[in-house]
Amino acid sequence: MTLYSYWRSSAAYRVRIALNWKRLDYHTQPVHLLRDGGEQHQTWYRDLNPSELVPTLCDGDVVLNQSLAIVEYLDERYPSPNLLPRHAKERALVRALALDISADLHPLNNLRVLNYLTEHFAGDKHSKVEWYRHWVAVSFTALEQRLNQLGGQCCVGDEVTLADVCLVPQVYNAERFACPMDNYPKIREICQYLETLPAFELANPHAQVDAD
């Protein structure tokens, strides 16, 4: 398998965690999102992924974009150890948490959005950093409440799931933008536990071949 990845991309980070969790061998092909205006916009990559975003996973003749679709694919194709619970209700709760992060929060704070915002909208008073922190605060407030109901060591109970795969990269990025984290003790507690697990450690941006 080949993963087209960028060390700091949250979405690529999710897939790296899932691949490690399942102990799957893969080759990392770095796509530098900043160099030369962004390698994701070059023809060779656009042919692979017309959305011009990372990650892309190639597994034989299967070429996939979208981190959550990739993790679900890995979970179906290589089910042990699983990242989605057995029962429909728990699966739905895990997926909803994953989407709370990956659909409602992360796309708002993605590189392309921050660039477009800065270029066309940001003035003297408001900056992309305020934008970033605002959406983290909105989402983490709701997430903290949900995790207090559902969480144990992990987001849903004590087993690692797709929700945890999404949580750690999001918290990593929130810390990078110095978002205040005092109001989210449950999020922090779960994250601290997850970061001790080898699958998560190995997926950390700073452990990647293309890290600056």
Contact positions vs a copy of itself (CB under 8 A): 50-53, 62, 64-66, 68-70, 72-73, 76-77, 88-89, 91-93, 95-96, 98-100, 102-104, 106-108, 112-113, 116-117, 120-123, 125-126, 130-131, 134, 138-139, 141-142, 145-146
Tell me phi and psi for residue 42, to 5 degrees. -75, 150
> How much is the CA Rg of the chain, to the nearest whole Å?
17
What would the DSSP string read from start to end of the chain? -EEEE-TT-HHHHHHHHHHHHTT---EEEE--SSGGG-GGGSHHHHHH-TT--S-EEEETTEEEESHHHHHHHHHHHS-SS-SS-SSHHHHHHHHHHHHHHHTTTGGGGSHHHHHHHHHHT--SS--HHHHHHHHHHHHHHHHHHHHHHHBSSSSSBTS--HHHHHHHHHHHHHHHTT---TT-HHHHHHHHHHTTSHHHHHHSGGGSTT--
Considering the complex, what minimum distance in angstroms separates the CB of residue 66 from a copy of itself?
A: 4
We find the least distance from the C-beta atom of residue 123 to a copy of itself, in angstroms, to be: 6
Q: Which of 140, 137, 142, 166 is nearest to 154 (CA)?
A: 166
Tokens of 70: 């990739």
Q: Which is nearer to a copy of itself, 88 or 209 (CB)?
A: 88
* Shortest separation between residue 95's beta carbon and a copy of itself, angstroms: 4
Q: Which is nearer to a copy of itself, 145 or 198 (CB)?
A: 145
CB closer to a copy of itself out of 145 and 192: 145
46 or 206, CB closer to a copy of itself? 46
Q: Which is nearer to a copy of itself, 138 or 211 (CB)?
A: 138
111 vs 197, beta carbon nearer a copy of itself = 111
Minimum CB–partner distance for residue 211 and a copy of itself (Å): 25
Q: How far is the CB of 31 from a copy of itself (least distance, A)?
A: 16
Shortest reach from residue 104's CB to a copy of itself, in Å: 6
